Amino acid sequence: MGLTQGDTGGQGDTGGQGDTGGSGGTPVPSMTWERWQRLTPPQQDALRDDVALHPVLRQWRGWRVEVVYYGERKRFIIGQSTGWQPVTLGLHNRLSRDSAHILKASNCTFIRAIERIR
């Protein structure tokens, strides 16, 4: 998923406070997709803010899993968005270009891992 300038990738408005980076939530003033792309991988790792990732599902990235999501049993592949504030994604199938953003605080209960996909 490519982002363009001004696109937050579903991250929402930061209210003028600047984006947060690093696991400590340190402000990263004026972070843009272009600025992020110019950083080296070690610099990106230092600034990446993983607080929006689902605490249980993040460890199953690349796996097809079965969960109870808001009372409904579902199967999907766990993915992760790119950028400085990644989120957990539920991909419908291997070739899917569509996904569901799984909120960190969502009512999602892990049941089982089905198979490793990626």
Q: What is the pLDDT of residues 93-118, one digit of tens each?
A: 777 777 777 777 677 888 899 999 87
pLDDT digits (tens, 9 = 90+) for 32-54: 888 989 999 999 989 888 888 88
Query: Which of 30, 54, 55, 33 is CA-nearest to residue 44?
Result: 33
Per-residue model confidence as pLDDT tens digits over 60-84: 999 999 998 888 898 989 988 888 8
Residue 6 makes CB contacts below 8 A (sequence gap 6+) with none
What's CA 36's distance to the chain center, in Å?
16
pLDDT of 19 reads 42
Q: 6-44 burial, b for 16+ CB within 10 Å, e for fewer? A: eeebebeeeeeeebbbbeeeeebeebebeebeeeeeeeb
- pLDDT value at position 4? 32
Q: Is the pTM of this model over 0.75?
A: no
